[in-house]
Amino acid sequence: MRIRDLILPEDKIFFTLFKEMAGKISEASVTLNEITHELPNGTEKSHKVRQFEHQCDEITRHIYERLNESLITPLEPEEISRIAPVMDDVMDRIDRVTQQICNYELAQSNETLKEFSYLIMLSTAEIVEAVDGLENLKNPDDVKSHTTEINRIYNLAIELQAKAVLDLFKTKDLLLIIKLKDIYEGLSRVMEKCNDVGHALNDLAMSHA
């Protein structure tokens, strides 16, 4: 134990804030999944995702404010500064692609949209579990197991996008091709951001092993 830890207590609020943000991200991904399964209905739910995005922005702001005020932190300041923005990026991308799906007014859903949103939901659930493990890094393998799963799901998303694009160009509706290709790319970026969170959490776990 560091001497400074004996003098001043660590500010545990960061764990609470990270858990809260991870929860909002997971809820947003569930809503996105519901929308892709209910098209052309369900688009009114996009406002819920936008609310989650605003809430995550507020949590991120609170994290940085608290970081500037805290003398002792449970993680290194640079670790906190790395995790907060990559998690917020996931939320931003979920919000962005949700708005794309709704604004493009798709006449119906398809299996690719449903599968993509399901993978995102699985990935954000793993982020929740990994973030929960941050508070007890005496066993970093718990965190690393979840980050490994995030990466596995990301690889599945890469395969899905490649197949989806090939299938897309077999259709003859040019406007639909443009819309869906844009949406697939947006969904893929969500997965990229989830994988970035996985890398950040994995690096953190390894540094505390």
pLDDT in tens, 123-144: 999 999 999 988 777 678 889 9
- Tell me the mean pLDDT in the region 135-159: 90
CB 165 within 8 A of CB 177: no
Number of Cβ within 10 Å of residue 184's Cβ equals 20
Question: For residue 156, is pLDDT > 60?
Answer: yes
pLDDT of 125 reads 98
Q: For residue 34, give the DSSP letter.
A: H
Question: For residue 209, is pLDDT > 70?
Answer: no
3-state secondary structure of 208: coil
- Tell me the mean pLDDT in the region 172-178: 92
Contacts 24+ apart (CB under 8 A), 9-12: 9/72, 10/72, 10/73, 10/74, 11/66, 11/70, 11/71, 11/72, 11/73, 11/74, 12/74, 12/135
Query: Which residues are CB-neighbours of 94 under 8 A, at least 6 positions away?
Result: 25, 28, 29, 32, 49, 52, 53, 120, 190
Q: What's the rounded Cα separation, in Å, for the pair 193 and 93?
A: 8
Question: For residue 39, is pLDDT > 60?
Answer: yes
Closest-CA residue to 166 (of 115, 117, 112): 112
pLDDT of 2 reads 44
Question: For residue 1, is pLDDT > 50?
Answer: no
CB 149 within 8 A of CB 119: no
Burial, 177: exposed, middle or buried (Cβ in 10 Å; 0-12, 13-18, 19+)? Answer: middle
- Tell me the mean pLDDT in the region 94-121: 96
- Tell me the mean pLDDT in the region 63-75: 80
- The crossing angle, in degrees rounded to 10, of helices 111-132 and 140-168 is 170
- Tell me the mean pLDDT in the region 75-100: 94
CB 59 within 8 A of CB 21: yes
CATH topology assigned to domain 3-207: Methane Monooxygenase Hydroxylase; Chain G, domain 1 (1.20.58)
Per-domain residue ranges of the chain: 3-207
Question: For residue 21, is pLDDT > 60?
Answer: yes
Question: For residue 50, is pLDDT > 50?
Answer: yes
pLDDT of 142 reads 87
pLDDT of 139 reads 74
Question: For residue 3, is pLDDT > 90?
Answer: no
